[in-house]
């Protein structure tokens, strides 16, 4: 028996014992996770800086604060979420109890990515703990310092009978996926997501896949150009562009592009100074392989802003590309780096057609002071999420579900959605042992005159429509 198989078996035994089910236990584990965030904050800052020179401010905002907010939101609402949901009954069951019980799935596997290695591992973990599961966590091996920190310190805070951290590369993760889990939560690329889903299918294990994609950003002619430039530049170049919900490309008119370029240059200079390479507020690409991939995308179109690189530092300057063609390499894959292509369209309808001709994105952005334009894009497109007149900020609201659609993902989480993702909605009907006479109409030998009685007792009737003229 492999070590992974033994681990999963041990956690399953703990789950079957019922240890994780009481609310008091779940709250205690969540509070312990909060202590980890508080006591290891400086270690988290140092590890993320060592892995990708992530600015401390960005770590505070995108790793620690978001986890803390999600944790508090869950603790504030867990008692309500755990309650049975009583449902409407038919006439035949009026004297009985019918409800939905939120049951934990069992032993859950969470596979985290490297771009936000704390946030995107712990936020799903919060939901899994809240729902009463045992959890195996697999942090990314690419951010080695964070991986080491999580593996060495997080188990000291959580119940080791029910929670475990596994460090593994590609081959070891493949073997880990051969085990039967009751739920798998994966964040990463669509290509690896397919591998995870294939492995899960062998055991008919349900999955959530948080993937990515090319997130469009339509900028209409009716907007405050300076505000747009600041918000788009912040969203695109935060974490050196290594954000799954960053605006991946801009669609706008030729006239708007002429206004937007100097505003973007001004915003980049305001944020990172005349030489972003020297700014303490601009990060680096996580690894050499990732650097080479992103650097190759700079050959698309014409560089209007930035374009400087340094392979030794894995530095790529905040860059804006123009004259980009639809078939250029930069438009064929998620950029995941500090590059912003601008493509021109004649109208909002052309922008909508461009967006709808491609895979559905994780999020769609639109900037316009005209509500009709915003609503037009919202109503005629499909995406995992939608945000008007800003970027990324929808991620700060725990009560908004987050997830993709199609190529950008499967399932959703954050807040109550995390709790529901890791919970099985178990239907329950508790009937009385007596009153057998009421059941007689459904038993053989069948009699035609009983059918109308049975239908009246069990069928749902359509309510009369109420039309306000």
- Which residues, in sequence order, are CB contacts of 272 under 8 Å at separation 6+? 237, 279, 281, 282, 318
Decide if pLDDT at 1 tops 80: no
- Over residues 241-287, the pLDDT tens digits come to 999 999 999 999 999 999 999 999 999 999 999 999 999 999 999 99
As a whole number of angstroms, the distance between CA 260 and CA 406 comes to 31
Helices (H), 40-65: 41-52, 56-59
**Catalytic residue chosen out of the listed positions 63, 70, 147, 210:** 210
The number of residues making up the chain comes to 469
| Of residues 404, 405, 399, the one with CA closest to residue 418 | 399
- Over residues 334-390, the pLDDT tens digits come to 999 999 999 999 999 999 999 999 999 999 999 999 999 999 999 999 999 999 999
370 among known catalytic residues: no
244 among known catalytic residues: yes
What does the pLDDT read at residue 405?
Answer: 96
- Over residues 416-452, the pLDDT tens digits come to 999 999 999 999 999 998 888 888 888 899 988 889 8
Supply 432's token pair: 């009385």
Supply 62's token pair: 């995108």
As a whole number of angstroms, the distance between CA 344 and CA 325 comes to 10
As a whole number of angstroms, the distance between CA 41 and CA 243 comes to 21
- Over residues 186-234, the pLDDT tens digits come to 999 999 999 999 999 999 999 999 998 899 999 999 999 999 999 999 9
E strand residue ranges, 2-96 = 85-86
Q: What is the pTM of this model?
A: 0.95
The phi-psi region of residue 440 (left if phi > 0; otherwise alpha if psi is between -120 and 50; otherwise beta) is alpha
| Of residues 317, 307, 220, the one with CA closest to residue 259 | 220
Bridging pattern class, strands 183-187 and 107-111: parallel
**Catalytic residue chosen out of the listed positions 244, 252, 334, 387:** 244
Element (H, E) at 427: strand 423-430
221, burial (CB in 10 Å: exposed 0-12, middle 13-18, buried 19+): middle
């Amino acid at each position: 028996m492999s070590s992974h198989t033994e681990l999963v078996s041990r956690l399953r035994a703990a789950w079957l014992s019922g240890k994780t089910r009481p609310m008091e236990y779940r709250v205690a584990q969540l509070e312990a996770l909060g202590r980890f965030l508080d006591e290891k904050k400086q270690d988290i800052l140092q590890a993320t800086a060592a892995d990708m020179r992530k600015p401390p401010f960005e770590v505070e905002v995108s790793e620690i604060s978001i986890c803390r907010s999600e944790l508090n939101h869950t603790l504030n609402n867990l008692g309500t979420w755990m309650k049975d949901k009583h449902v409407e009954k038919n006439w035949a069951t009026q004297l009985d109890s019918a409800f939905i019980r939120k049951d934990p799935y069992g032993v859950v596997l969470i596979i985290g990515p490297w771009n936000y290695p704390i946030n995107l591992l712990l936020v799903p973990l919060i939901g899994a703990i809240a729902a009463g599961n045992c959890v195996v966590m697999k942090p990314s091996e690419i951010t080695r310092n964070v991986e080491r920190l999580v593996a060495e310190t997080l188990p000291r805070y959580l119940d080791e009978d029910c929670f475990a951290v596994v460090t593994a590369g590609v081959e070891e993760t493949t073997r880990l996926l051969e085990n039967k889990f009751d739920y798998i939560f994966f964040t990463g690329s669509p290509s690896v997501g397919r591998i995870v889903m294939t492995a899960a299918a062998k055991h008919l294990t349900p999955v959530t896949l948080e993937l990515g994609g090319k997130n469009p950003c339509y900028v209409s002619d009716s907007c405050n150009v300076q505000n747009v430039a600041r918000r788009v530049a912040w969203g695109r170049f935060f974490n050196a562009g290594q954000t799954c919900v960053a605006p991946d490309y801009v669609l706008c008119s030729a006239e708007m592009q002429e206004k937007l370029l100097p505003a973007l240059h001004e915003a980049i200079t305001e944020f990172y100074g005349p030489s972003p390479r020297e700014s303490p507020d601009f990060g680096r690409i996580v690894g050499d392989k990732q650097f080479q991939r992103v650097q190759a995308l700079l050959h698309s179109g014409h560089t209007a802003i930035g374009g400087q690189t340094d392979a030794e530092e894995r530095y790529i300057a905040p860059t804006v590309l123009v004259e980009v063609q639809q078939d250029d390499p930069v438009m064929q894959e998620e950029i995941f780096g500090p590059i912003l292509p601008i493509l021109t369209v004649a109208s909002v309808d052309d922008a909508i057609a461009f967006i709808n001709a491609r895979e559905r994105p994780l999020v769609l952005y639109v900037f316009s002071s005209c509500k009709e334009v915003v609503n037009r894009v919202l109503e005629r497109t499909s995406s995992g999420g939608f945000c008007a007149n800003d970027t990324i900020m929808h991620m700060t609201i725990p009560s908004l579900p987050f997830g993709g659609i199609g190529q950008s993902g499967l399932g959703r989480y954050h807040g109550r959605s995390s709790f529901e993702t890791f919970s099985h909605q178990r239907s329950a009907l508790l009937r009385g042992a007596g009153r057998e006479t009421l059941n007689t109409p459904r038993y053989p030998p069948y009699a035609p005159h009983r059918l109308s009685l049975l239908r009246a007792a069990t069928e749902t009737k359509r309510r009369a429509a109420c039309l306000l003229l």
